Structure formats: structure tokens, C-alpha cells
Structure 1
Amino acid sequence: MGASLMARNIFNQPPKDEKESAAPSPAPVKSSKLPGSVGGLRDSLREITANSIRDIEPERIDMDGLRDRLILEDSSIEDLAESIRKHGQQVPIMVRPSDQPDRYRIIYGRRRLAAIRRVGGTVKAIVRTLDDDASLIAQGQENNLRLDPSFIEKSLFIKEMQEAGYKPGVIQDALGLTRQGVSNHRVVIEQLPDELVRLIGPAHGVGRRQWGDLAALSEKVPLVDIARETLASLPDTTPSSDKFQAVYVACSSKARGAANQSARGKTTVVKDNSGSPVGTLSVDGKSIAIKITRKDNPEFGQWLEERAETTLRQLFEQWQNERGSGS
């Protein structure tokens, strides 16, 4: 898949519990029955992990393909590098041969590769000759087995895969989702600005309903502006899920304030050229009202009453004519 199909670098902040030292050494695992290509792929991954690991120079591996997490380079890469310095690389990455001689393309293990480039030395890698579809499925399944991506990370990955032209069946296999499950993720991500998601991060533990509720507020308040203002007051170490809650509370509060302001409406005193009050114009979310106080302008009030219906119809017809001429 060419460079034109490469995803934007919008994935970062992986789950806290991903530590190289905590990952188990490759070992045979009891097979579980899974349908179709997903089950076969998982069994295949286990077999090749146990038997086909090679040492490759990191500079011979190209970082391409779709990203499956929010911003790859973050402070946790240094923690992972330190763990590899102490304990070695416990889990191999997977690569496939490149079109260029003696080079490879990453399938999964981008954070491990970035950490080893800091540490130095070779990287343990499984080399497989896979096409684009099989590579994507391997990438998605490995992440699901080891990392449990958050709802919004899966949603972004789905969006990237669809925009890159992958078929629905491949996308479903890559994440182990049904057709409806893919649709549920896509409906939410389509309503959210990309910048908002980058500001909040993966937000592990925040599900479809909560992200959907935040997305629904986009029609009422400027989500990105509120998020920037809210997050600027939080410490840099604030967990992503807490960032989500802070942004959601701030956006909900703004939306309620806007709704209350609209419900209260606005009343304007209309005056003549000398500054004397003629009447009042009241506008709220439900109606527009013109009020003439008979005590202040009894003669004008009588005159308007006699002509109100005719005048209102004339104004309505004028509006229709202007609307028609502008269409």
C-alpha cells in the first residue's frame, strides 16, 4: 500500500500497563476456537512466535502502514527503553519484506522498535510475507490480544482503515468486531473533531455512550475551544480518562448555560427618534412578540390594532417574495 494510504500520526499515549518487562516470553498457549481467518491467524501467530524469531538491525525497518494508537512518541517510550536495557526485549515485533532489498516494513510493535532504537542493538522480529490485508489483520489482532485498545483508539483505527480503502470484512477481522460493532464506532468518530480526540487522548475506560454524549454537544458549543481552555488548567500528568471527564463537564455546563440563556430570551425597548418608548420586542427560543402599552401610546395602539392582521400578512408575503428571489 503506497504512501498515499498511510495514516496520519494521530495515535499516542498507550495504556499504562504496557511494559516490555511485564510481557511474557513467547510460549505455546492452548488453542481456543475462533471463527474463520481470525482464529487461524491467532494460531499462526502463536506458532511463528515460538519458532521463527530473527535479529534485525532497527535501521533496516521502515515505520509505515496505519497507526493504531494515539501519538507514538511519548514519555513512556523512554520507560520502555529503560525496561529493555534491564531485562532485554521479551516480546518480538512483526515485520514483512519491503520492496527495497534487505529492508522490512513494520506490521506491529512500533513502540518496541522506537524504544530499541534508543537503546541500541538489534530487534527481535518475526518476518512474514503478508499482503496488506493480512498485515492489517495481524496488527489489529496482536493489539487486541496484548493491549486492549480503548474505544476511541479503535474508532480512529476503523476510520483510518476505511479511508485507506480496506474492505469491511478485513476491518472486522482486524479488530474482532461485528459489522454492527464497526458501525457503532464509526458513527461516534465521525461527529468528533480530530483535534479534540488528540487533546484528550485514548481515555481508557470511557466507552461509546460517553463519547457519543460528548459528540452530541458539538451542535451546541465549540468543543475544541472548551477543551483547550479546560485542559490548559490541568497538570500535564493528568490521566487521559480524567481529561475526558473534565472536558465533558465543561462542555455540558456551557451547553446548559447557552440553553438557559436562549430560554430566558431577550427584550428590547423600541424608541422613536426623540427617544420616547414606542413598545417592546421580546425574542426567545419559542416566540417573537411585539408589545404596545396602551397607557403610553393609546392612539398608536388603536391604529395598530386595526391594521395588525393586514400588516402581518403583508410582512409574511414580503418575506416569501424575498426568500423566493434569493433561492
Structure 2
Amino acid sequence: MARNIFNQPPKDDRARAAPSPAPAAPASIAGSVGGLRDSLREITANSIRDIEPDRIDMDGLRDRLVLEDSSIDELADSIRRHGQQVPIMVRPSDQPDRYRIIYGRRRLAAIRKIGGTVKAIVRTLDDDASLIAQGQENNLRLDPSFIEKALFIKEMQEAGYKPGVIQDALGLTRQGVSNHRVIIEQLPDELVRLIGPAHGVGRRQWGDLAGLAEKAPLVDIARESVAALPDNTPSAERFQAVYAACANRARGAARQDTRRQPRVVKDEAGRPIATLSSDSKSVAIKLARKDNPEFGQWIEERAEDALRQLFDQWRNESGSGS
């Protein structure tokens, strides 16, 4: 289970759990003032503030493939009409009077379009807690697609986050994280960017696309397919177009392979020596012992040396070097 870093015990529960403090002695006035100062600082840190958007840096790991899209314009119109209903969360930056975004990137982008300040909760969180907050809030508000979660997992792993933090950030089990990682490791980054988040397209479909990588040039086909579509084509439809084109190309390659008939190699008298067959994956030379058993035995004893000599000859003629 993912741990929720936002829940705090209800105020009444805290009051019942804590014993009544003893009356403070006059000598502890300075300590009481210090405690009051700490309490005020905590209250301020958790309050909602109005912050100029240009004081907030959009750093951290990206958990969305698309940020500046039509949904940002729709969100901006909604905020213009009704105001910002849900605050974003930021944390203090190393630079004075600046902040770093934790979550709410879409809301921040929308408010930057329409102008004005952004309502933000300011929390002092370390990198792990910030990442968990980002993942939990995004899962609650707008569930990322399968491939967005997979990319987020990949970025978190490359950034050095521990497995437990990654699981908490997305509310996934260890097996769930592994299922996402296996797929994203098989897909070129450019292919995923060309298609986009593809909401509704799950692990099995992305896995089927990854399975075509050995049979068709996925990125090249994706470039052609996406370029032929209208600019406003939803990413789920882009996925279907790319997958259909890749599958067709793979089927065409398979049909071409089946049309490659084995060739019989014969001697000067027309007697068969061997059968040569090839496809996209291999080249095979087959000698039937019944046709020429002595030659078959001779080849078997010398095949390794002969292949090395042929390889060296090819390397010298092609200039491939060592």
C-alpha cells in the first residue's frame, strides 16, 4: 500500500492523546516564545499563499507526456470563470524567494496563460516525499496512462530513487512497477513521444507493439504514420494508426520470407551438393549425407576453419576492419 504523506491525526485525537501540559514556570518564558515561533512557522508553511507564477520553477521529473495541449486552454478558461478551486503544491527553492513545483503543473501552466497569482501550498519536503506527493496527487486528479506511468518509473529509476519510493509514488506493487518497466525498456523513446500518452491503451497493446520491433522499423513507420494524420488526432488514435502500419509491414516482411525458396547448389555434372536457404534471421547450408556421405564427413571436419577463412575474406573485401 502507498503511504499517504498528507494525512495528519485529527485535531481532537491529538488533543486526547497528549497529556495536559503543566503550568510553565516564569523562567521558561523564553522557551515558550521559541515554541510559539516554531508553531507559527509550521502554520505559515502549511497555509495557502498567493504566489507570482514566474517565481515557481517547473523542475523535477515529468509525469505527463503532454502538458501544453488543448486541455490546458480548457483549464485556463475554467479558472478564468470560476477561479482556482484547488491549490498547487510547491517547496522552497535554494534561491531566495523562489519555489519548486511539487504538483499542479497543469494548473500552473493554465494560470500563466491568463495571468495573475497562483494559490499554492508551501511545504518543506525532501526529494523522496516530494516525489510521492507528486505521484499520489496526479493519480487522484487525472490518472496517468500506462505509458506515462512507465516513463515516470524509468525516469525515477534513472534518477536513483529507491524501489519503495517509486512504488509509493504511483501506488503500485513491486510486480506492477516491473510490468511497466519491462514494456518501456523495449520501446524507443522517440516512438513513445510520437504517439503520446494514449489514454485507454494498456500494457498488452503496448507490449504487442514492442513485439514488432524485430520485424519492422517502428520509429520510421511511426514518423510516416503520424505525419499523415491531422495535427489534432488524439494520441490513442495515433497509437492505433502506428500499430496497424507496423503490423502490416511486419506481415509483409513475413510473406516475403516465405516466398524465398531454398536453392539447390549443384556440381558441374548437375548433381546436388547442398541446399541453401535464407530468411531475415538466418542463412543455412544443408548437406544431405545420403547424396554424398564422404563429402559430408569432410565438410564436418573442416567447417569451422572454412567459415573463418570465408569470414576473413569478407572482412578484407568489405573493409570492415577487425
Regarding TM over 0.5, the answer is: yes
Q: Deviations over 1:262-296 (max 9, x none)?
A: 22215669899xxxx998975244854689xxxxx
1:283 aligns with 2:277: yes
In structure 1, the residue matched to 2:14 is none
In structure 1, the residue matched to 2:57 is 62
Q: CA deviation at 1:89?
A: 1.1
Q: CA deviation at 1:232?
A: 1.8
1:38 aligns with 2:12: no
Name the CA shift for 1:227/1:321 in 2 (closer, same or farther; >3 Å): closer
Amino acid in the other structure paired with 1:319: A
In structure 1, the residue matched to 2:306 is 319
Name which of 162, 169, 186 aligns with 2:181.
186
Q: List runs of 5+ in structure 1 lacking aligned partners.
A: 1-34, 292-303
Task: Please give the residue correspondences for 1:1-327 in structure 2 after superposition, counting only pairs within 5 Å.
Answer: 35=1, 38-39=3-4, 41-44=5-8, 52-266=47-261, 282-285=276-279, 287-288=284-285, 308-309=295-296, 312-313=299-300, 316-322=303-309
Moved more, 186-195 or 234-243: 234-243
Answer whether contact 1:281 1:288 (CA < 8 A) is retained: yes
Q: Deviations over 1:12-71 (max 9, x none)?
A: xxxxxxxxxxxxxxxxxxxxxxx5x623x2425x999xx822111111111111110003
Amino acid in the other structure paired with 1:43: N
CA distance in 1, matches of 2:72, 2:233: 18
- Please report the RMSD computed on the Cα atoms of aligned residues, expressed in angstroms: 3.3
Q: Number of matched residues?
A: 274
Q: List runs of 5+ in structure 2 lacking aligned partners.
A: 12-42, 316-321
CA distance in 2, matches of 1:186, 1:220: 22
Amino acid in the other structure paired with 2:305: Q
Partner of 1:71, secondary structure, is: coil
- Report the structure number with the largest CA radius of gyration: 2
Answer whether contact 1:156 1:189 (CA < 8 A) is retained: yes
Q: Deviations over 1:192-233 (max 9, x none)?
A: 000000011111111111111111111221100111111222
TM-score, normalised on structure 1? Answer: 0.74
Percent identity reads 72
TM-score, normalised on structure 2? Answer: 0.75
In structure 2, the residue matched to 1:9 is none
Partner of 2:216, secondary structure, is: coil
Answer whether contact 1:264 1:284 (CA < 8 A) is retained: no
